[in-house]
Amino acid sequence: MVAKASSVSHGYNAINYAVTKKDAKHLSSNHLSIDSLWGDDDYKYIWQSMQSRHFIQKGERELKNDVIRIEIAPSLEESATLKTKEDWDKLLHEWMSEMEKVANKNDKKGKPKSLDFGNSQWIAMIHFDSGKPHIHLIVNRIRENGEINKDHHIGYFATVAASAVNEQRGWKQPKEVRKENIMRIYNDSIEVLKSMPNFNWDEYKQRMSKKGYNLSIRIDKEGKVVSYGIHSGNSYFISSSLGKNKELTAAHILGTWQRLHHTQSQTEVAVAKNQETSEDMITYEYHSDYGYYSSLSIPKALDDIIQKDLTVPDEEYSDDDLDRDEEWEDELADRDTVMEKAVKVFLSLAVPSDNAVSSGGGVQGELSRWDGLPAERKDDYIHWARKAAHDASTAYEPKKKRKARGNHR
């Protein structure tokens, strides 16, 4: 099981997404009279009820991020053991208990708690739409007595609480699951390579697809495959993370195939060009600041720039870095996380605040006509792509925890 949390400024949209998502089911709530509700506009009532607490906020500072948005996601195997609503509710409260322990650990005696679920409005929903059931929990940062739920290190605390619940239930920790998945994908990849009489990317992708994997392949202007990743369920693995000595990367996979077949063929082997990877655009999905998912398609030329300039902590540092040093603020971000941030930064630079991203015009329209754009306009997008990669990399650069000074709100 994994969990993530962050404080957000768009409480209305966060509640709307949690409550009205297709196949969403109400799990539990606190300090909200919603037993007789569940019409189309119930999320509006929930937000109005939470918002009314903001008017009794203590102090004069404005609270920018008014709710805490939390996701709790067991694995498919773990969620299979949660057969009733009561089972899910028990899991939720176990996590909330552990979350309060870690968040309130350093609170001074006689001072308000840093986090208090019992004295706060919150609503929990189960989402089933992705095929992997998970909990969405929205918590009002203003408690019933006007005190504030602090959001300092909230994301880090969420992962620690999830690890504690995993240990109590005998569930595997995320790092352990990831290592097992990497070994499974590696073994399947080697099996596929052994079965191929000749190596070409079309055949490799097709045979991996039959085993349940989807490959995302990047090629350069000359049509050469420069890198690829493997999607397995909701997880994504870059090729350099599979096996030792990067033997499954785009640069080494042909040599690995030759070694497996005990062949000393010529340096150049006929590698078919994958028609499915020759498209000009690459599409990314991202979670917008308004609480919903959007997508942006960018030319491969820009994608190459961003991917090349991106610094990914999960690839630059080993897992042992976190184990040796307990002072890291949060888990190391993976490529998907950093890339999503880069896409959002790129959009903030390229799209005026009063403009929309549309398929026919605006930024998306220009990007789809990349080859025909004037050189000076291409230079603008290239500049924004490089800045997006830099800003996203900087945002997720591992940071050490600092001692808290004063009160945090």
Residue 409 covered by a domain: no
Instruction: Give the model confidence (pLDDT) of 309-353 as tens digits.
Output: 888 765 555 444 333 333 434 456 667 778 888 888 888 888 754
pLDDT band (50, 70, 90) for residue 234: low
Residue of higher predicted confidence among 167 and 285: 167
Report pLDDT for 56: 57
Residue 196 pLDDT exceeds 70: yes
Q: End of a domain among 122, 151, 171?
A: 171
Pairing mode of beta strands 281-287, 293-299: antiparallel
Q: State the pLDDT at residue 242.
A: 87
Q: Are residues 181 and 167 in the same domain?
A: no
Please name the helix (run of DSSP H) or strand (run of DSSP E) that holds residue 206, with its range, or none. helix 201-210
Residues 118-127 pLDDT 10s: 999 999 999 9
- Assess if residue 246 is contained within a domain: yes
- Mean pLDDT in residue range 272-289: 52
Judgement on whether residues 40 and 123 belong to the same structural domain of the protein: yes
Between CA 142 and CA 47 the distance in angstroms is 12
78: left (phi over 0), alpha (psi -120 to 50) or beta: alpha
Same domain, 253 and 295: no
User: Domain check: are 243 and 258 in the same one?
Assistant: yes
Together in a domain, 160 and 128:
yes
Higher pLDDT, 97 or 283: 97
> Residue 55 — very low, low, confident or very high, per pLDDT cuts 50/70/90?
low
DSSP 400: B
**What span, in angstroms and rounded, lies between the C-alpha atoms of 253 and 200?**
10
Average confidence score pLDDT of the chain: 79
Over 70: is that where the pLDDT of 54 sits?
Answer: yes
Percent of the chain with pLDDT over 90: 33
Residue 317 and residue 202: Cα distance in Å, rounded? 32
Residue 184 pLDDT class (50, 70, 90 cuts): very high
381/300 same-domain check: yes
Q: Which residues face 2 on adjacent strands?
A: 73
For residue 140, the one-letter residue type is N
Q: What is the pLDDT of residues 198-233, one digit of tens each?
A: 999 999 999 999 999 999 998 888 788 888 999 987
- Report the pLDDT value the prediction gives residue 402, as an integer from 0 to 100: 46
The mean pLDDT value for 233-255 works out to 83
Range of the domain at 41: 2-171
* Tally of structural domains, the chain: 3
Cα 255 → chain centroid? 33
Listed residue (5, 325, 314) closest to 178, CA to CA: 314
Query: Residue 108 is part of a domain; what is its CATH number?
Result: 3.30.930
CA distances from 205 to 230, 235, 403 (A): 10, 17, 49
